[in-house]
Amino acid sequence: MLKYYIVVVYMHIASGRFASRWLDEVGEAQNMIEEYVWAIFVSEGDGGFPNFFPIGLFSSYERALEELDTLPQDMNYQLLRLPVNRMFPYYHKKSGKLIGMDGIHHEHFHFRDDSGGDL
C-alpha cells in the first residue's frame, strides 16, 4: 500500500530551530522540532577531510557572528549549523567510505588566501 505524506517545513535560521509538520498514516498532524547549534571552526587550506577544527559553539547565529568578528584575521573560518541528537554522515556512493558531512549548512569566512598570505 502506497502512503502519502504532506510535509510542511519551517526554519528559523537565527534561532537554530527547525520544525516540520506532517500527516501520519491515519491523517493526524504530527510535529517535529529539531534543535541546532552554531559552531565556529578554524579552516586550514591543506590536507583532506577533516581540514578544520572547532573553536566555539553557540546557541544563536547572531552570537556566533559576533564572536567571528573578534577573531584574528590571519586564519580562515567556517560557521556550521549542526543538528543536536542526530547523525549527519556522508558516505561515498560507490565505496561506502565516510567522506564528509551531509545536509549541513555552512558559511565560509576567508581572511587568508590558500598561499598563506592575507587577502
Q: Indicate yes or no: pTM above 0.75.
A: no
**pLDDT at residue 22 tops 80:** no
Return the bridge partners of 30, or none: 22
**pLDDT at residue 61 tops 90:** yes
Res 72: pLDDT = 92
**Strands 52-58, 29-43: pairing kind:** antiparallel
Q: Bigger pLDDT: 32 or 65? A: 65
Res 108: pLDDT = 86
The mean pLDDT of 1-23, rounded to a whole number, is 42
**pLDDT at residue 20 tops 90:** no
What's the whole-number average pLDDT of the chain?
74
SS3 letters for the chain? CCCCCCEEEEEECCCCEEEEEEECCCCCEEEEEEEEEEEEEEECCCCCCCCEEEEEEECCHHHHHHHHHHCCCCCEEEEEEEECCCCCEEECCCCCCEEEECCCEEEEECCECCCCCEC
The mean pLDDT of 102-118, rounded to a whole number, is 73
